Amino acid sequence: MFGWLKLHKEPVNAVVQQFEAVAWPAADTPVSQCRFLVLDLETTGLDAKNDHIVSLGWVVIEHQEINLAKAQHLLVKPPVSVGQSAVFHGLHDKDLSKAQDLADVMTELLQHYAGAVFVAHHASIEQKFLTMACQRLYGRSPKFKFIDTMQLEWQRLLNRGKVVHQRDLRLPACLSRHHLPHNQHHHALEDAFSCALLLLSQLKKSRNHQMTLGELTALSRG
């Protein structure tokens, strides 16, 4: 009787399966060869269980170049009003009328970027919200691994013997420190682009010019 439920679940789950089927590049892959997906989310709050994604922005780094043709900015229809969070991301309910279903957005992300190395600034937020979204949509989530530019920056500053305050690690502060151009903060695509610039700068500034993905992952874990 509930066979249709199963039928419906099968193909959707395939998205997760396919995503999981493509492994991360091997740990000894030089970072210069990696394909990175630099991602930023804007949400209605910080609690992945109760808050929702309102927009996703991403840019792709291949051969250490940010390819702007593949930049994406997707608005997501949240199940509830964006409420007070509009103050941060500037997206109001009226703007979201043309937004897409979270399912479409997630499917596009998982189908196109399996095997890419995901990157975000303060990545635990992105990780939690993506995981929660997959669980809600597909019943199960792949294990998202992220390179966190905030962690990388923290390591970098520690190695240089700096006392690091929390505020020094915020994205605009990092951009200033790296002499990178700024733009509108709290816009998913602009922030993803900024985060990508930060990663490129961090990679260049590391003394290890032949750095492998394994080494980068280790740095990102702290």
Partner 1 sequence: MEISEVIKFLAKTTPFNHLSTAELSQLGKHIAVYYYQAEDKVPTNGRRLLIVRTGVFALYSDQQQLLAKLQEGDFYGYQQLLTDLTDADILKCEEDGLVYWLDAQMFHQLRHQFKNVDLFFQRLFSRRLHQYKEQQQNSRFTLKLHDVVQAHKISITPQQTVQQAALLMTEKRVSSLLVEQEQKLVGIVTDRDLRSRVLAQALPANTEVAAIMTRQPHTIDKNAYLYEAVQLMSRFNIHHLPVTEQGLCFSMITATDIIRAQQDHPVYLIGEIHRQQSVDGLEQCSLHIQELAQTLGKQQVPAHEAGHIITTITDALTQRLIKLAMQQLGEPPCVFSWLAFGSQARMDQSLNADQDNALLLEKEPVGEVELYFAALADFVCTGLARCGIKLCPGNIMASNPELRLSLKGWSGRFARWITTPTPQALLNASIYFDLRVIEGSRGLFNALQQDILAKTANNDLFLLHLSKTAQERTAPLGFLKNFILEQDGKHKKGLDLKKRGISLITDLTRVYALSAGISEVNTRLRLKALAETQVMDSRDVQNLLDAFDVLAQLRWDKHLQELQQGHDVTNLLDPAQLSALQRHQLKDCFAVIHEAQSSMRYRFSREL
Binding-site ranges for partner 1 (CB under 8 A): 57, 59, 64-69, 71-73, 179-184, 187, 189-190, 193-194, 196-197, 200-201, 203-205
Measured from the CB atom, is 209 or 221 closer to partner 1?
209
- State the nearest-atom distance from the C-beta of 73 to partner 1, in Å: 4
What amino acid occupies position 3? G
> Least distance (Å) from partner 1 to the CB of residue 202?
9
User: CB of 61: closest distance to partner 1 in angstroms?
Assistant: 9
User: What's the chain's Rg over C-alpha atoms?
Assistant: 18
CB of 59 to partner 1, least distance (A): 8
Residue 16 or 37 having the CB closest to partner 1: 37
**What is the phi-psi region of residue 3: left when phi exceeds 0, alpha when psi lies from -120 to 50, beta otherwise?**
alpha
d(CA 217, CA 133): 24
CA 190/CA 151 separation, integer angstroms: 20
CA geometry: angle 108, 133, 147, nearest 5 deg: 75
Closer residue to partner 1 (CB): 189 or 219: 189
Name which of 29 and 206 has its Cβ closer to partner 1. 206
The closest alpha carbon to 155, from 141, 129, 142, 174, belongs to 174
- The interaxial angle of helices 3-21 and 123-138, nearest 10 deg, is 150
Dihedrals phi, psi of 184, to nearest 5 degrees: -40, 115
Q: Report, in Å, the least distance between residue 163 CB and partner 1.
A: 24
How many CB atoms lie under 10 A from the CB of residue 200?
Answer: 18
- The set of residues, in sequence order, having a beta carbon less than 8 Å from that of 167 and lying 6+ positions away, is 173
Under 8 Å between Cβ of 217 and 26: no
CB of 72 to partner 1, least distance (A): 6
With contact defined as beta carbons under 8 Å apart, do 36 and 121 qualify?
no
Least distance to partner 1, CB of residue 113, Å: 15
